[in-house]
């Protein structure tokens, strides 16, 4: 079915809706009404219609970064099963290729934060690089836990074999992956996506000099990455539903996204943002969980 090769468009089109749902749940958890769940779509339209103010010191890297970040995230979305694991496009890469494709976008975004020549952009870029060093080994170990059990690094094959997930090690792996998801999407307690206080922001610091269409592409890519990680978590740790008919699979997928979004909103409303020098303790603890999970899986298979 040709639709299977284009199911990543579900992530592209619905990622602003997931972001709107998370913000709405956060507002309700804080006793506020908040904006509607479709507000991110309106924000994108507003940004695309606006002009851009660009620093005189910006080079071609600054102009190229929004497109590289958006396209690399789009390519990574194409490697993850959404409602079906039967698609030829999944043969183009596995979860390792997926994360390195995302790393390409992160690399250009860090360069763009430095390229504008502002202190806050450089500060955000340095903090993002530090977090990446701590998060990437952890998230890869969590993913390898599923890969070792499923004897494959293909997200499609892992999503279509739910019977392999019977070890308590997957609880540890999911906990580590969830912490990595929070760090990768810039959420509390690692970062605060709603702040514009220069001394605390990380992701917002890197995109501080962007405006108009460039900022719209970066925000859209960020929301796509968030939903992509939700989808990967569903494929690796809750792998059921991809073998159903498309309508039922989409309903089940929507439920998974809503549950993960609600969990993220609950985490943000119940936790305070950590100081930057406290992050290694949080991410280091999650790394230990990921390490224990893969050691347990390897030991149990012998």
User: Tens digits of per-residue pLDDT, 49-71?
Assistant: 998 988 888 889 999 999 999 99
- What is the Cα–Cα distance from 6 to 178, expressed in whole angstroms? 27
Q: Which residue has the tokens 């899986």?
A: 297
pLDDT, mean of residues 128-150: 88
DSSP letter (8 states) at residue 95: H
**Which residue in this structure is represented by tokens 């925000």?**
219
For residue 162, pLDDT beyond 70: no
Using 50, 70 and 90 to split pLDDT, how confident is the model at 91?
Answer: low
C-alpha pair distances (Å), 254 with each of 18, 21, 211, 246, 293? 10, 12, 32, 12, 28
Q: How many CB atoms lie within 10 A of CB 105?
A: 25
- For the stretch 200-222, what's the b/e string if a residue is b when 16 or more beta carbons lie within 10 angstroms of its beta carbon? ebbbbbbbbbbebbbbbbbbbbb
- Decide if 80 contacts 225 (C-beta within 8 A): no
Distance of alpha carbon 16 from alpha carbon 37, whole angstroms: 8
Q: How many domains does the chain have?
A: 1
- Across the chain, what does the average pLDDT equal? 87
Give CA–CA dist 31/195, Å, rounded.
Answer: 18
Closest CA to 207 of 215, 195, 217: 215
Q: How much is the pLDDT for 196?
A: 66
Q: Which structural domain, as residue segments, surrounds residue 73? A: 2-301
- 125: exposed, middle or buried (C-beta count within 10 Å: 0-12, 13-18, 19+)? buried
Average of per-residue pLDDT across 165-188 = 86
Q: Is 87 exposed, middle or buried (0-12, 13-18, 19+ CB in 10 A)?
A: buried
For residue 20, what are the contacts with CB-CB under 8 A and spacing of at least 6? Answer: 35, 36, 37, 38, 39, 40, 41
Residue 216 has pLDDT above 80, yes or no: yes
- Residue with more model confidence, 248 or 5: 248
Across the range 130-149, mean pLDDT stands at: 89
Residue 197 pLDDT exceeds 70: no
Q: What is the pLDDT of residue 39?
A: 95
Q: Measured between alpha carbons, how far is residue 183 from residues 201, 248, 266 in Å?
A: 13, 31, 15
pTM above 0.75, yes or no: yes
């Amino acid at each position: 079915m040709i639709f299977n090769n284009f199911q990543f468009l579900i992530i592209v089109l619905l990622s602003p809706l997931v972001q709107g749902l998370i913000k709405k749940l956060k507002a309700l958890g804080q006793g506020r009404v908040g904006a509607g769940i479709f507000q991110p779509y309106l924000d994108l339209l507003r940004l695309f219609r606006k002009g851009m103010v660009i620093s005189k010191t910006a080079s071609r890297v600054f102009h190229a970064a929004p497109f590289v970040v958006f396209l690399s995230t789009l390519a990574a979305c194409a490697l993850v099963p959404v409602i079906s694991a039967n698609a030829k496009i999944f043969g183009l890469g596995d979860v390792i290729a997926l994360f390195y494709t995302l790393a390409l976008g992160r690399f250009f975004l860090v360069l763009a934060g430095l390229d504008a020549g502002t202190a806050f952009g450089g500060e955000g870029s340095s903090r993002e690089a530090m977090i990446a060093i701590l998060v990437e080994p952890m998230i890869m170990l969590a993913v390898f836990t599923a890969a070792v059990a499923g004897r494959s690094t293909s997200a499609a094959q892992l999503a279509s074999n739910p019977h392999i997930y019977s070890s308590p090690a997957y609880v540890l792996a999911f906990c580590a992956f969830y912490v990595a998801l929070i760090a990768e999407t810039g959420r509390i307690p690692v970062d605060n996506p709603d702040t514009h206080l220069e001394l605390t922001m990380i992701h917002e610091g890197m995109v501080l000099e962007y405006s108009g269409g460039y900022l719209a592409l970066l925000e859209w890519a960020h929301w796509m990455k968030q939903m992509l990680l939700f989808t990967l978590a569903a494929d690796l740790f809750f792998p059921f539903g991809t073998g159903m008919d498309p309508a039922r699979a989409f309903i089940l997928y929507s439920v998974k996204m809503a549950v993960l979004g609600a969990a993220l909103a609950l985490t943000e409303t119940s936790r305070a943002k950590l100081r930057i020098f406290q992050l290694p303790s949080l991410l280091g603890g999650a790394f230990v969980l990921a390490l224990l999970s893969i050691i347990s899986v390897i030991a149990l298979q012998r």
